[in-house]
């Protein structure tokens, strides 16, 4: 399912127009992104938790040349599925 199909599904299930469903989805994604950027976590009970994980700097290897390289520390978004969500897809 891509974003367009998700918007259509939201519109059908909620009775909203496609334009309203698109705005609602965009607002939700934007709010989650803003919260994570501030360092907060977003917990949706029964669905899961969005958070930011920190990766330490490390040494890696260039697969093409075999040369050792330094990989910078970084932050990456993470999602941990909640019990209700896990149970729903079994």
> For 28-65, what is each residue's pLDDT tens digit?
999 999 999 999 999 999 999 999 999 999 999 999 99
At the fourth CATH level, the homologous superfamily of domain 3-88 is IHF-like DNA-binding proteins (4.10.520.10)
Q: Give the model's pLDDT for residue 22.
A: 96
Phi and psi at residue 43, to the nearest 5° = -110, 125
- Alpha-carbon distance of 88 to 65, in angstroms, equals 46
Is pLDDT of 90 > 90?
A: no
- Domain limits, the chain: 3-88
Q: Give the model's pLDDT for residue 15.
A: 95
């Amino acid at each position: 399912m891509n974003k367009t199909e998700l918007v259509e599904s939201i519109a059908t299930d909620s009775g909203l127009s496609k334009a309203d469903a698109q705005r609602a989805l965009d607002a939700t994604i934007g709010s989650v992104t803003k919260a994570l950027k501030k360092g907060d976590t977003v917990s949706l009970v029964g669905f899961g938790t969005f958070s930011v994980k920190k990766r330490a700097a490390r040494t890696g290897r260039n697969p093409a040349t075999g040369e050792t390289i330094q990989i910078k520390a970084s932050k990456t978004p993470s999602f941990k599925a909640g019990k209700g969500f896990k149970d729903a897809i079994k």
